Structure 1
């Protein structure tokens, strides 16, 4: 294990991974094909050939609907209230009513005057300190996406780290179109995983709960994205 890395338990079992792959296919099927004849994933890939590559060297298709992502839609709604409470705490320490709100204030105040890259490092390291916990252990279900407040209260798994980092960076001035939570397949470990992608002018950087290192997406050749999203858009990915 390299310096700065932490080993986590398996993040998805085979059934969950199959569900993620199936969801990616459903996302694609709900999007307009590049040409009328394109019916399958293979057809879509052929139709998109020569149109360039995107995150983790894939072709991506976008949609503005979160109908296929109810977990994310729920987080977006829940976070609206939480962000208001966090903002009140940031502005006035006397309005910090919980340990989670104090933790949020701590990282935002610590990073607000840092450079862009320093903010990424600070946020990644801060949330990576939370212990990894399975959804079954915390919520009694096989899959549950936690809001930032829920994550800081009980901790969680890979997508929960990414969600907390996503909202913290938005608070620190990153634009929504510069951020994406990415659900992917880790081909080395053979399991599902989630990371946060940061879109820079000439690169895409990855914040990973498995490491405090922040590297370009091209360094992660074993990561195959299934789908990604931010507050306005979702994308399906194919190689």
Structure 2
């Protein structure tokens, strides 16, 4: 080996020793600099649309969801009792919802999700909050929606969120996503379910479920899970893609009203 070869080998040896010495320290420093908030954002990057999200601690959307959560706590007790004893169930709304859940439980995977999406789309009439309640934006619990038989987009999404849980889908794989319709300038809500690592959206505007990567002309704003509501840290416009689906039998109410969640949805 010539002198240049020996010099190169020596430098390589010094470099290797340096990496071995400083490597663990660098990793430790990186771990120390990773604050809980930063780590939480990284963990949440598995949310629908692959965007990070942080907990929302205030605002009208959070207040509305907290109101729904309180009702859900009571309704889950009632649904559990009716599920265990249908003959003595005193809630026709619970029985109608559980009948949909029964059909979904008999299926697996994508077919289970599709059954919930299709059945709830058909069970609820699209109606604006203003027409139904005389208010701009009202979020109804599942049994309220099934008792009235009508609702708008967030009512469909909330009912699907609960029906999927009752049908056996893990709560970790369920979300409600609030998005901005950039074409019509309205907010819209859908349920989302994770299957084999991919998020499928269950939308009252269509019977076919669409993967989040294929959703177009919407800007994701908020995401709700079993733990609460989060706001997306980044909300890029989802580029336009021609919609090849046939018109859905579930049509929107044409009387749009300005609202937190548009009453037209």
The normalised TM-score by structure 2 is 0.67
Measure how far apart 1:190 and its partner are: 2.6
Of 60-69 and 159-168, more deviation after overlay is shown by 60-69
**In 2 relative to 1, CA 74–217 (structure 1 residues): closer, same or farther, beyond 3 Å?**
same
**In 2 relative to 1, CA 105–54 (structure 1 residues): closer, same or farther, beyond 3 Å?**
closer
Q: Which SS does the other structure have where 1:212 is aligned?
A: coil
Q: 2:135 aligns with which of 128, 137, 141?
A: 141
**In 2 relative to 1, CA 95–33 (structure 1 residues): closer, same or farther, beyond 3 Å?**
same
What is the alpha-carbon distance in structure 1 between the residues aligned to residue 78 and residue 114 of structure 2? 25
Measure how far apart 1:167 and its partner are: 0.4
The correspondence of residues 121-136 of structure 1 with structure 2, limited to 5 A, is 121-129=114-122, 130-136=124-130
**Count, aligned residues:** 194
Name the structure with the higher helix share. 2
Measure how far apart 1:200 and its partner are: 2.5
1:60 aligns with 2:52: yes
Q: Which SS does the other structure have where 2:127 is aligned?
A: coil
Q: 2:172 aligns with which of 149, 159, 177?
A: 177
Give the equivalent residue in structure 2 for 1:90: 83
What is the alpha-carbon distance in structure 2 between the residues aligned to residue 64 and residue 194 of structure 1? 17
What is the alpha-carbon distance in structure 2 between the residues aligned to residue 97 and residue 54 of structure 1? 38
**In 2 relative to 1, CA 92–207 (structure 1 residues): closer, same or farther, beyond 3 Å?**
same
The normalised TM-score by structure 1 is 0.73
Q: Which SS does the other structure have where 1:235 is aligned?
A: strand
Give the equivalent residue in structure 1 for 2:239: none
Rg bigger for which structure?
2
| Greater RCO structure (CA 8 Å; 6+ sep) | 1
Give structure 1 stretches of 5+ with no counterpart: 1-31, 35-47
Give structure 2 stretches of 5+ with no counterpart: 1-35, 237-265
Of 89-98 and 140-149, more deviation after overlay is shown by 89-98
Measure how far apart 1:153 and its partner are: 1.5
Runs of 4+ that moved beyond 3 A:
51-54, 64-68
Report if the CA contact (8 A) 1:162-1:181 is conserved. Answer: yes
Q: Which SS does the other structure have where 1:118 is aligned?
A: helix
Of 187-196 and 125-134, more deviation after overlay is shown by 187-196
Give the equivalent residue in structure 1 for 2:3: none
**In 2 relative to 1, CA 165–221 (structure 1 residues): closer, same or farther, beyond 3 Å?**
same
RMSD: 2.6
Give the equivalent residue in structure 2 for 1:151: 145
